[in-house]
Structure 1
């Protein structure tokens, strides 16, 4: 993956599209790429392997997708289309909560997405559809307009930061061959064995199962942020 700043298929200068190879579409390519990413993960994706899955010559893909990075951007936007947005006339808190859970559920369904956050510029039409609804819900909150962008940043950092950390932890749990509860209990036991009573305040909370459950953690953090957002005077 390149590190090209704003070098994005969505923001590139529009040019006349080259002639397309009959019988193959960009949608087919992106759909198969998503299926491959879901099944084998990001490291396994290559244009050659993807072409083999589609039973076409590798070079034929480039008639529709200029680069592998562009393909990843297209795949990232395609899965953003799975997020169902709440009606805009609903309660703003409920709308934000549903969008946040939609984002998290999408990453859990497609774990490879977490690797692309902060690397790919997620600026496709499906992603922008979600962001626009996200900002629209904040505009209906009690916050003054000048605080909409900062609060959007706070929520964005919480949601995506939580998701990336969660997916890395889930990968570690899966490699351990245990359930989340079993793995967390094992970590707590090893911590206690290594440090004994040296850190009594931490020891008081190590064995709390709910505190280690990702669903409970996400709901708690999101609720606390939204509760603060709902206050008419954030100061």
Structure 2
């Protein structure tokens, strides 16, 4: 594997303050959060594959709104059917049991993603599609970076990514990694680099110090190094999409 399976660190973090400005609609019975750019254009779009907190987690909705503020139409499908993990689970919540028995896997997740992408590229007129994957979603950002899927992808602190999924990507891939990350530690980063170096697609891997797994979504914004790393990871994603998904950006806005 190019990263390890999810663990306890995947559910730890800080809820961020803010009010989401998007809306929730249904795509073939799949609840999906939509965030629109100022001009309401859907030609350049991003699909976000979330961590195990799911689509309704305010932090990821605020991130979607940030991408929209930078000119992208954004969709976040509910890949968990609402059966998600609460942030900082209480002591009586058995996270490892949830991962082993309730967390969705490829046979149920892939069909949902396929339906959403078909809808985006069909009825909604999406011409270019970027994939963003956080933690659990990192697997699918890589897995769907292929013909008929996403054209470009970004992932932060990915988990559960198979080596073959990295080897199978067909477009530009950008990765934001944490210095302290038992899911995507240094040996797995190096394994990923070794794979990417042998491929013909553009790639990028940025390592951020003083942060842990989950920093790009759930970090403590009161801590200056964490806030800086989260913002820089977001700007990394926007710059990547501006370069490989659309041209003529006026610069990223936080």
TM-score between the two structures when normalised by the length of structure 1? 0.30
User: Relative contact order, CA 8 A, sep 6+: which one is greater?
Assistant: 2
More strand by share: 2
More helix by share: 1
TM-score between the two structures when normalised by the length of structure 2? 0.28
